[in-house]
């Protein structure tokens, strides 16, 4: 169906078109509500881990191996520590009387003990504790410290309050100490604290003031005197040297303070002092933590709301309650998503008001808002039922803001084109108006929609699921909205004109609201005339605009790539709430300064043989973690295989990342087997010290089975290194050691560690002369590299996405303008605007995290719309004009709608800044910066650039003939169109030095049919007319009222 036929359909059947669209939308709404699962935002961090990367695949394969391993072989589908037939005789190696059931129970007990892992799950429920927590239930005698605090030490599962002190902790005066004591008492006496506290609320919190009272032999912090405080602080300052130097286990080693390895001073031989350093106070900032006897979770929400008021009231005091850690961050985020809808609604209301002022039509404004809602509904239906993606991350909600901005922009383009063509002499027939408007507006809207959708879909390259889902959904919204805007919007405008709805105004002209709107309208008109009709602003000082904006863009490039630069994320804690929220303040300013929260363990190095690391889980199904896939394992009994594994473990110990400061004797099964055999007497069994390594095949198999059955009965977990059996045969091998690299958020450190281990593994496996595929293990750090994987993925995917978008945008610009110089000018403008925006974001402290990457991926798409419109306007301007005249003609043609589009996006961004959800705040900040930057570069930099290097006439202008057309239109038709363009220009732009004769446009008559079609809008309307549609209606070229339209509608001639 051609454009003219479609325009005819829109003209004659607008109501049926609207009815069909409405039926489709209602059907999709019912389908989404009744069939699709509603979005779940209870865990907003789901999908923030890359999938199908090498690190993720290795981690999931290791996790699947652990999940499919049973300590006691209850099922033949699971891997085991030893052959099934050896299980019944395993007791002969450790005990004289042991049955299979006893061995099974012993294995279960041993696997449940992990003394090195302090888990928050020790707090089981509110008001109850495990036996280790409350000593009276266990029958043992409480230590003095346990009697004082009702627990042995602070625990991560307790709710935590962070206090900031205005002075050095070691020099804290007594008044500050008293304020801190009183503030803590106010919290514990709150009515919201008692329902959720542990131990009947009779126990003292783990806090600085209570530790001072304990060390001073006082029953309460209120009983502490000035000398007590002074002596305790001096003791803390004296003992800090021992805390820095002695090992961790000296403090909880059961009286090891005076051992040769620890050697702690008698004054400091108290575990309470260690707990102060490790849990309570910061050693580099005046921050102190308080652990109250209350488990983290949703029941503490009432107390949290009470403490937020305390935070605001204590800001200017010596002691300030600065942050909280109640385990409510995800819950608060979920509530904030709902409450922040008001800011999205406010943005929508302001945009609606701007549309209303621009169009002066309630009907058009309402239908535009309806089209935005239809876009969201149809896109969600396609997302769920066509793309089959069930996971709907909260990032997808950001697409709503994008839809609001795009919806307003498309309306401005269509409405401007409609008003321009409607008031021409040759367009008095409704069908012709619809045809001309649709031809020009649909092309402009398609170009901008294609560029924005390209920017979104280019980001699907990333391996982070939430980012890919957002890009798919947002790109779908853009394309769906284009379909809506070329069907729903034209039909609505036809109904508006055809049935005289333009005369229906909610507020009369004499009403106060009507006068207010006309006043705002008048001010916008004056602003537009001032900016666009004064040539001196751009043309006269164009030589000044170019260096000014170039210097700004160079400064942005320096800020982006030099200092402070856009760096990888420095913390694995994802910011979800506003910058000053107490939960975010705790993660940002407290965690890294308290040793209990910032100390990292060394990374393990685990090599797995016999398991495929290929991830077979669903890409968009975040709950699918894949299944265990075994691959052939080398015959472990072969002498050459024994030597290879022995050499592998030896070379591993020689690497720089291997931790040789501790004894690691349990990591390599070959070494352990040899040690076990060498200490056994030959009088008891074949596996004894007389055997020579490498062993005979049958001897090795027999001894390995006996060794695993004997040694894997105590102190091992499903993650312990060793051999795993399936169907009585070795199926997998795990070799694991500790590295000397601690888990850290530093990207360069983790990249160096990952590179070194990968290089070692590649080198050692490439040296074997046997089947390489059987000796290709994978390594994992048990989740320690997952955050590095996020950093690496972001650094890799965002630049590639931006490059793809820039390439696609250059193609779109070139295809639209068919001019090399215009393409270069538009790309230079887009690049400078992009550098300025990203540079400012770098100066604002943005890091390349997941949310920031999603938002920055929109930069190219949103930065190229305005330059593209200016380039197209320059392209269709009269070829007989010089550069300055063509630039001013272009600005008069598109300046008004670009300014209105800028205002709508700017207002939508500003309305999002007060939100609590940081995603909305950062999106609002980004929209504000990118739209201002793009508008300034498009209205000042690019016109100045075109004044100097813009194409003159048809210089470097390419033309292509469409094969599907019947041929060039007749000369008479072309002449009519040239005359039509001349008449419009002479009537509507008298300020320009244009002639009314046909001779200046003679070259236009000889152009292709496509050139003539584009020339219909040249010089149609200045920007002031776009802001004054009613004034144009009063001109001598005014469009006839509805009755003349109906009377002349059946005529073929205007």
Which of 81-85, 265-269, 626-630 shows the lowest per-residue confidence on average (mean pLDDT)? 81-85
How far apart are alpha carbons 94 and 86 in whole angstroms?
A: 13
Maximum C-alpha span of the chain: 120
Query: What's the average model confidence in pLDDT over 453-459?
Result: 85
Burial of 836 (0-12, 13-18, 19+ CB in 10 A): buried
* pLDDT value at 969 more than 50: no
Q: What is the DSSP letter of 951?
A: -
Nearest to 320 by CA among 642, 589, 30: 589
Backbone angles phi, psi at 1014, to 5 degrees: -70, -25
Cα-based distances in Å from 236 to 204, 289, 519, 821, 836: 21, 16, 70, 72, 50
Which of 140-149, 434-443, 523-532 shows the lowest per-residue confidence on average (mean pLDDT)? 523-532
Which of 439-448, 456-465, 648-657 shows the lowest per-residue confidence on average (mean pLDDT)? 439-448
Model confidence band, residue 1015 (pLDDT cutoffs 50, 70, 90)? very low
Nearest to 1025 by CA among 939, 897, 915: 897
State pLDDT tens for residues 684-739: 778 888 888 999 999 898 898 888 877 766 667 788 888 888 888 889 999 999 89
Residue with tokens 């008559």: 1005
Residue with tokens 């909280």: 324
* pLDDT value at 765 more than 70: yes
Q: Is the dihedral of CA 922, 924, 927, 931 positive or negative?
A: negative
Q: What is the DSSP letter of 220?
A: S
In contact, 986 and 951? CB cutoff 8 Å: no
State pLDDT tens for residues 643-657: 999 999 999 999 999
Residue with tokens 């001096």: 234
In contact, 304 and 331? CB cutoff 8 Å: no
Check residue 1021 and give its pLDDT.
37
State pLDDT tens for residues 915-965: 988 888 998 999 999 999 999 999 899 999 999 888 988 887 777 654 444
Check residue 868 and give its pLDDT.
85
Cβ count within 10 A of residue 265: 12
Model confidence band, residue 477 (pLDDT cutoffs 50, 70, 90)? very high
Q: Is the dihedral of CA 986, 989, 991, 994 positive or negative?
A: negative
Query: What's the average model confidence in pLDDT over 283-296?
Result: 89
Model confidence band, residue 257 (pLDDT cutoffs 50, 70, 90)? low
* pLDDT value at 771 more than 60: no
Which of 274-283, 316-325, 586-595, 762-771 shows the lowest per-residue confidence on average (mean pLDDT)? 762-771
Regarding beta strands 602-609 and 319-325, do their DSSP bridges make them parallel or antiparallel, or are they unpaired? unpaired
Name the more confident of 251 and 1034: 251
Chain CA centroid to CA 770, Å: 46
Query: What's the average model confidence in pLDDT over 818-847?
Result: 91
* pLDDT value at 1035 more than 60: no
How far apart are alpha carbons 303 and 206 in whole angstroms?
A: 18
Check residue 196 and give its pLDDT.
84
Calculate Rg over the CA atoms of the chain: 37
Burial of 244 (0-12, 13-18, 19+ CB in 10 A): exposed
Name the more confident of 998 and 284: 284
Name the more confident of 118 and 278: 278
Nearest to 567 by CA among 377, 774, 765, 838: 838
Q: What is the mean pLDDT of the chain?
A: 77
* pLDDT value at 364 more than 80: yes
Chain CA centroid to CA 1027, Å: 39
Name the more confident of 72 and 309: 309
In contact, 570 and 38? CB cutoff 8 Å: no
Chain CA centroid to CA 514, Å: 44
Q: What is the DSSP letter of 8?
A: H
Cβ count within 10 A of residue 338: 10
Listing DSSP states for 745-814 in one string gives: S-HHHHHHHHHHHHHHHHHHHHT-SS-GGGG--EEE-TTTTHHHHHHHHHHHHHHHHHHHHHHHHHHHHH
Query: What's the average model confidence in pLDDT over 626-651?
Result: 90
How far apart are alpha carbons 293 and 777 in whole angstroms?
A: 47
* pLDDT value at 500 more than 70: no
Q: At what angle do helices 786-817 and 54-67 cross, to 10 degrees?
A: 140
Regarding beta strands 319-325 and 158-165, do their DSSP bridges make them parallel or antiparallel, or are they unpaired? antiparallel
Please tell me which of 79-88, 158-167, 682-691 the model is most confident about, judged by mean pLDDT. 158-167
Q: Which two tokens stand for residue 92?
A: 């002969």
Query: What's the average model confidence in pLDDT over 383-402?
Result: 89
Query: What's the average model confidence in pLDDT over 3-22?
Result: 88
Q: What is the DSSP letter of 563?
A: S
- In three-state secondary structure terms, 918 is helix
* pLDDT value at 580 more than 90: no
* pLDDT value at 414 more than 80: yes
How far apart are alpha carbons 326 and 157 in whole angstroms?
A: 9
Q: Is the dihedral of CA 89, 94, 95, 96 positive or negative?
A: positive
Q: For the whole model, what pTM was predicted? A: 0.76
CA torsion 595-268-244-225 (nearest 10°) is 50
Per cent of the chain over pLDDT 90 is 22
Check residue 982 and give its pLDDT.
39
Q: How many residues does the chain have?
A: 1054
- The terminus-to-terminus CA distance of the chain in angstroms comes to 24
Query: What's the average model confidence in pLDDT over 504-529?
Result: 61
Buried b (16+ CB within 10 A) or exposed e, 1005-1020: bebbbebbbbbbbbbb
Check residue 999 and give its pLDDT.
29
How far apart are alpha carbons 4 and 2 in whole angstroms?
A: 5
Check residue 552 and give its pLDDT.
95
* pLDDT value at 838 more than 50: yes
Name the more confident of 799 and 23: 23
* pLDDT value at 309 more than 90: no
Query: What's the average model confidence in pLDDT over 542-547?
Result: 85
């Amino acid at each position: 169906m051609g454009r003219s036929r479609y325009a005819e359909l829109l003209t004659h059947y607008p109501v049926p078109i609207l009815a069909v669209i409405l039926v489709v939308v209602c059907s999709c709404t019912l389908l989404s509500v009744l069939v699709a699962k509603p979005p779940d935002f209870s865990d907003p961090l789901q999908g923030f881990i890359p999938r199908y990367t090498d690190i993720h695949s290795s981690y999931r394969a290791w996790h699947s191996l652990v999940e499919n391993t049973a300590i006691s072989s209850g099922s033949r589908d699971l891997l085991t520590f030893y052959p099934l037939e050896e299980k019944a005789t395993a007791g002969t190696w450790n005990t004289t009387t042991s049955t299979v059931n006893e061995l099974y129970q012993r294995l279960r007990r041993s696997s449940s003990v992990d003394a090195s892992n302090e888990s928050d799950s020790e707090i089981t429920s509110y008001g109850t504790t495990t036996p280790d927590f409350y000593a009276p239930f266990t029958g043992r005698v409480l230590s003095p410290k346990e009697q004082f605090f009702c627990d042995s030490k602070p625990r991560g599962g307790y709710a935590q309050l962070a206090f900031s002190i205005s002075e050095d902790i070691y020099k804290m005066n007594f008044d500050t100490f008293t304020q801190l004591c009183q503030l803590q008492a106010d919290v514990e006496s709150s009515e919201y604290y008692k329902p959720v506290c542990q131990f009947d609320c009779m126990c003292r919190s783990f806090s600085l003031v209570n530790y001072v009272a304990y060390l001073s032999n006082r029953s309460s912090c209120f009983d502490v005197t000035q000398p007590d405080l002074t002596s305790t602080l001096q003791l803390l300052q004296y003992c800090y040297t021992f805390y820095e130097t002695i090992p961790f286990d000296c403090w909880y080693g059961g009286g090891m303070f005076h051992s040769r390895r620890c050697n702690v001073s008698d004054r400091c031989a108290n575990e309470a002092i260690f707990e102060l350093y490790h849990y309570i106070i910061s050693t580099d900032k005046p921050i102190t933590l308080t652990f109250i006897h209350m488990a983290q979770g949703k029941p503490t929400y009432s107390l949290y709301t009470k403490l937020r008021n305390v935070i605001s009231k204590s800001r200017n005091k010596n002691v300030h309650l600065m942050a909280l850690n109640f385990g409510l961050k995800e819950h608060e985020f979920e509530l904030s998503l709902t409450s922040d809808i008001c800011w999205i609604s406010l943005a929508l209301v302001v945009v609606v008001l701007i549309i209303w002022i621009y169009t002066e039509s309630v009907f058009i404004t309402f239908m535009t808002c309806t089209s935005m809602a239809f876009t969201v509904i149809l896109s969600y239906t396609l997302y769920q039922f066509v793309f089959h993606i069930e996971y709907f991350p909260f990032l997808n909600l950001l697409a709503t803001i994008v839809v609001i901005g795009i919806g307003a922009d498309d309306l401005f383009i269509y409405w401007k084109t409609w008003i321009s063509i409607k008031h021409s002499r040759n367009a008095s027939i409704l069908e012709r108006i619809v045809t001309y408007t649709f031809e020009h507006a649909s092309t402009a809207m398609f170009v901008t929609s294609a560029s924005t959708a390209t920017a979104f879909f280019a980001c699907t390259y990333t391996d982070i699921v939430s980012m890919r889902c957002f890009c798919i959904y947002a790109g779908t919204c853009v394309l769906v909205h284009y379909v809506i805007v070329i069907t729903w919007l034209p039909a609505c405008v036809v109904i508006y004109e055809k049935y005289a709805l333009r005369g229906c105004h909610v507020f009369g002209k004499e009403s106060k609201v009507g006068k207010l709107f006309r006043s705002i309208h008048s001010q916008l008109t004056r602003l537009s005339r001032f900016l666009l009709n004064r040539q001196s602003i751009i043309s006269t000082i164009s030589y000044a605009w170019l260096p000014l904006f170039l210097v700004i863009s160079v400064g942005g490039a320096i800020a982006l790539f030099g200092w402070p630069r856009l760096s990888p994320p420095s913390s694995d804690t994802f910011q979800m709430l506003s910058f000053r929220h107490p939960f975010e303040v705790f993660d940002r300013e407290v965690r890294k300064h308290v040793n209990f929260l910032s100390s990292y363990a060394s990374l393990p190095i685990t090599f797995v043989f016999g398991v495929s690391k290929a991830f077979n889980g669903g890409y968009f199904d975040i709950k699918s973690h894949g299944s265990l896939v075994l691959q052939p394992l080398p015959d472990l009994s072969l002498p050459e295989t024994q030597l290879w594994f022995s050499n592998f473990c030896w070379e591993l110990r020689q690497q720089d990342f291997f931790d040789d400061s501790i004894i690691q004797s349990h990591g390599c099964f070959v070494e352990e087997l040899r040690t076990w055999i060498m200490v056994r007497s030959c009088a008891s069994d074949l596996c004894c010290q007389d055997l020579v390594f490498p062993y005979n095949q049958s001897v090795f198999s027999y001894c390995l089975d006996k060794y695993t059955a004997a040694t894997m009965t105590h102190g091992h977990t499903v993650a312990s290194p060793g051999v795993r059996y399936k169907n009585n045969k070795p199926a997998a091998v795990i070799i694991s050691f500790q590295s000397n690299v601690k888990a850290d958020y530093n990207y360069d450190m983790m990249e160096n560690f990952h590179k070194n281990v990968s290089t070692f593994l590649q080198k050692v496996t490439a040296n074997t002369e046997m089947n390489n595929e059987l000796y290709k293990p994978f390594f994992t750090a048990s989740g320690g590299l997952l955050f590095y994987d996020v950093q690496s993925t972001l650094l890799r995917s965002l630049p590639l996405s931006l490059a793809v978008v820039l390439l696609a945008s250059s193609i779109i610009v070139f295809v639209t303008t068919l001019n090399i110089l215009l393409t270069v000018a538009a790309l230079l403008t887009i690049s400078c605007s992009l550098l300025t925006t990203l540079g400012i974001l770098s100066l604002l402290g943005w890091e390349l995290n997941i949310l920031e990457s999603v938002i920055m991926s929109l930069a190219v798409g949103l930065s190229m719309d305005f330059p593209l419109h200016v380039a197209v306007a320059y392209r269709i301007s009269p070829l007989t004009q010089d550069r300055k005249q063509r630039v001013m003609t272009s600005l008069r043609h598109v300046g008004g709608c670009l300014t209105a589009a800028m205002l709508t996006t700017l207002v939508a961004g500003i309305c999002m800044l007060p939100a609590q959800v940081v995603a909305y705040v950062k999106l609002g900040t980004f929209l504000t910066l990118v739209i201002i930057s793009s508008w300034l570069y498009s209205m000042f930099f690019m016109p100045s650039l075109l004044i100097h290097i813009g194409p003159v006439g048809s210089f470097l202008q390419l033309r292509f003939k469409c094969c599907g057309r019947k041929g060039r239109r007749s000369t008479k038709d072309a002449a009519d169109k040239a005359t039509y363009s001349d008449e419009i220009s002479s009537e509507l732009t008298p300020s320009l030095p244009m002639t009314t004769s046909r001779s200046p446009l003679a070259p236009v008559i000889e152009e292709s049919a496509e050139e003539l079609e584009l020339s219909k809008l040249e010089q149609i309307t200045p920007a002031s007319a776009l802001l004054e549609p009613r004034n144009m209606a009063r001109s001598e070229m005014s469009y006839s009222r509805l009755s003349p339209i109906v009377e002349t509608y059946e005529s073929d001639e205007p």
